[in-house]
């Protein structure tokens, strides 16, 4: 009986792993695009919107929207736009690896939100996870904070801001999915991507950032970002996640920040010593403990 259950679960696990693998390259595509943060963020969601629109047309996946749900989608798009802007800017200062790990600190914000607002119960492992995460982070960025450059410190702050905005995005997305069960993930994410692209496009106009893609390398990087990170990766994860235990999904999803850091070291030769690697392992362990450190009401 158990082997059979495991066998049927394998395709779902493979889907989540594949999605996490594809999304782990997001920071690489952002770095290779070599355009301002708002530009890369805009094209990620705008191209993602185009690809998702094609998927919705193919699936005939259009639903009527109430004013309340439309408002939630716009709010979700705003959170996602802020999340992407902060994260893409952070990548420019501290690289895709550390920026991705910092963005995953959202697990602590979501857990605290669940405890404070929704009456979820805390487990001892969550109390252990927070100091563990901070200790690991200090090992990655360096013990002497004041010795770091202003740009590097700004990158860390932006990475933590990413975690806050990402939490808002996930909480709003959860509300959209709970309120609209007839919606497919493709339809919801298409509208969220459109909303985000409007916010980011407006920011680009105000800041005077270019819409022009400078060269073929940037174009290919941005297409990969929109297709694999925004569309296929998310779709694979969202489709399989409901059929896998939450704690197990959390462990699998740690593949994304782990690989993002490895790609940063391999492709951009990020200086990393044994102490930094120890910090990465400690931080990722803490993130997993944070993922599994709260539970629903008794």
pLDDT at res. 242: 66
Q: pTM to 2 decimals?
A: 0.86
User: Distance from first CA to last CA of the chain, Å, rounded?
Assistant: 29
- Contact between 158 and 105 under an 8 Å Cβ cutoff? The reply is no
Q: Do residues 150 and 93 make contact, with C-beta atoms less than 8 angstroms apart?
A: no
Task: Return per-residue pLDDT of the chain as tens, 298 residues.
Answer: 444 444 345 788 888 889 889 999 999 999 999 999 999 999 999 999 999 899 888 888 777 777 888 899 999 999 999 999 999 999 999 999 999 999 989 888 888 887 787 777 777 887 788 888 888 888 888 767 788 899 999 999 999 999 999 999 988 888 887 765 556 677 888 999 999 999 999 999 999 999 999 999 999 999 999 999 888 988 888 777 667 665 566 667 788 899 999 999 999 999 888 989 999 999 999 888 877 766 555 4
Please report the pLDDT score of residue 69 as a whole number.
Answer: 84
pLDDT at 2: 43
Alpha-carbon distance 293 to 128, whole Å?
A: 9
Q: Which of 200, 155, 221, 199 is nearest to 39 (CA)?
A: 200
Q: Where are the domains of the chain?
A: 22-295
DSSP one-letter string for 184-249: -HHHHHHHHHHHHHHHHHHHHHHHT---S--SHHHHHHHHHIIIIIIIIIHHHHHHHGGGS-HHHH
Bridge partners, residue 92, by sequence: none
What pLDDT does residue 83 have? 96
Residue 173: per-residue pLDDT: 83
- pLDDT of res. 247: 56
Q: What pLDDT was estimated at residue 248?
A: 63
State which H helix or E strand residue 295 sits in.
Answer: strand 294-295
Q: How far apart are CA 221 and CA 224, in angstroms?
A: 5
């Amino acid at each position: 009986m158990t082997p059979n259950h495991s066998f049927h679960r394998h395709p779902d696990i493979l889907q989540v792993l594949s999605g996490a693998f594809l999304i782990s390259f997001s920071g690489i595509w952002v770095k290779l695009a070599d355009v301002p943060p708002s530009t890369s963020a805009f094209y990620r969601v705008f191209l993602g919107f185009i690809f998702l629109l094609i998927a919705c047309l193919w699936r005939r996946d259009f639903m009527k929207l109430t004013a309340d749900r439309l408002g939630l989608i716009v709010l979700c798009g705003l959170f996602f736009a802020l999340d992407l802007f902060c994260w893409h800017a952070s990548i420019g200062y501290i690289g895709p690896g550390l920026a991705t790990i910092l963005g995953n600190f959202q697990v602590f914000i979501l857990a605290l939100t669940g405890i404070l607002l929704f009456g979820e119960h805390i487990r001892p492992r969550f109390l252990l996870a927070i100091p563990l995460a901070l200790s690991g982070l200090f090992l990655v960025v360096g013990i002497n904070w004041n010795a770091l450059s202003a740009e590097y410190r700004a990158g860390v702050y932006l990475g933590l801001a990413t975690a806050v905005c990402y939490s808002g995005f996930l909480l709003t997305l959860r509300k959209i999915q709970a309120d609209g069960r007839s919606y497919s993930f493709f339809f919801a994410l298409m509208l969220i991507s459109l909303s985000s692209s409007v916010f980011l496009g407006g920011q680009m106009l105000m800041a005077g950032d270019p819409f022009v893609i400078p060269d073929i390398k940037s174009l290919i990087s941005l297409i990969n970002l929109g297709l694999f990170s925004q569309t296929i990766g998310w779709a694979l994860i969202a489709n399989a996640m409901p059929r896998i235990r939450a704690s197990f999904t959390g462990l699998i999803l740690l593949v994304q920040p782990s690989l993002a850091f490895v790609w940063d070291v391999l492709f951009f030769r990020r200086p990393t010593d044994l102490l930094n690697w120890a910090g990465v392992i400690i931080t990722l362990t803490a993130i997993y403990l944070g993922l599994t450190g709260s539970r629903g009401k008794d």
